[in-house]
Structure 1
Amino acid sequence: MIRDFMILKARYLPLKTLAFAGFSFVFSVLVGFAGSSLLSVIAPLSALSVTLGLFATDDTDAWHVFLCTCPISLKIVVLSRYIVVFGTIVAASAFGFILNLITFAAFREQEIIWYFAFTLAGLVGTCASALISMPFCYWSGASGSNIGQIVPFLFLGGLAAGVRAIDIRRVASFLFALSPLHYFIAIAVILVLGFIASAAASAFLYRQRLNEGRFSR
């Protein structure tokens, strides 16, 4: 975990991060709700892209070779990487929410619930993408993330195709009958179960990869 933070710090702190934050603030002030809501989705996605770059660093600096001779449990190694990735995503989402609060206080173009909704959508969507992508990264390195990014689109395609086979009005009436608390509980349960399943799959695939020696030296 410390190694990951040091790499991210050397690459992106403080100049690149401050430059992005400054641009985001100016863009949000000039554009208003449209700008801040867009950035509240882009920020966590950018954080995911940045942290997935750590897998490329693992390949180039022979990190896998070191792990093969280190007594540290692979489960701890994988969990540490997950903490770094999701911690960075949450921090980026918090920044996006701050931008939304600033534009809400300055312009009040929409109800505050919409500012919160875009932040939550960006956070949940990015977390779901991370949960899908990371096992692929541990399976085949940085190139595996390209495979992982395709899966959500395949899922959405299948969902769109299945829409024709269900009664949309009945589903919509059921969803609208639920309270916000139900949504929060459902999202939290799905993310926790997804986190456990994804981390377990990553640890298993990473162990298989190390045992087979499928990494760059």
Structure 2
Amino acid sequence: MSQYHLDGFALVVGAAGGIGEEVAYSFAEAGVKGIFLADINAEAVEKAKIKSKSLASNPSCRCISTTVDVTDLQSVEEMVRLMVKEFGRIDYCVNATGVDVATYCSIDQTDPDDYDRVMAINTKGMFLVIRAVAQVMKSQEPTIINLGRHGNRDGGRGSIVNVSSIMAVVAVEGKIAYATSKHAITGVTRAAGMSTSEAEL
């Protein structure tokens, strides 16, 4: 992403590690005005915030970190309210929260509680973030991105990217809950795209 110039403000959910952390760094390198990093791991997301600021190509880029429990509606809505309070809008949202199963095992040995945990974080959590962010994006004005010598580009009201897995289309042995949750993310993403298309997000 560093080869492109991005304007506006980015929300990265699941920013404390893995893909989410790297996405936050890429937003910083691409020149956004601000990054809101959220994760359930307070210490790790604070470290990611500090590194994002150090990588920012835009000297005025603000980086803010917060904790969020994506399985809890109130926590997700508070995260979104705080970002809007600090930055005024959400131009980009990357939904990168995810967990694996506790134990690789066959379906007859799968713990229902672990199944519920994985589904709650990977699928319900993604739904709750999309829901809250879409409400903000639908109400804000489109943004114009200055690409320098390439002119201006209409950035629309915002973009939401859901990070999934190859297991959204295939399955492997011993990961029933994980594969199911990733298949469900495909459905959530497609349905969300249909319901928000008229708003030109």
Which has the larger Rg? 1
Q: Which TM-score applies when normalising by structure 2? A: 0.36
Greater fraction helix: 1
Higher relative contact order (CA 8 A, sep 6+): 1
Q: Which TM-score applies when normalising by structure 1? A: 0.34
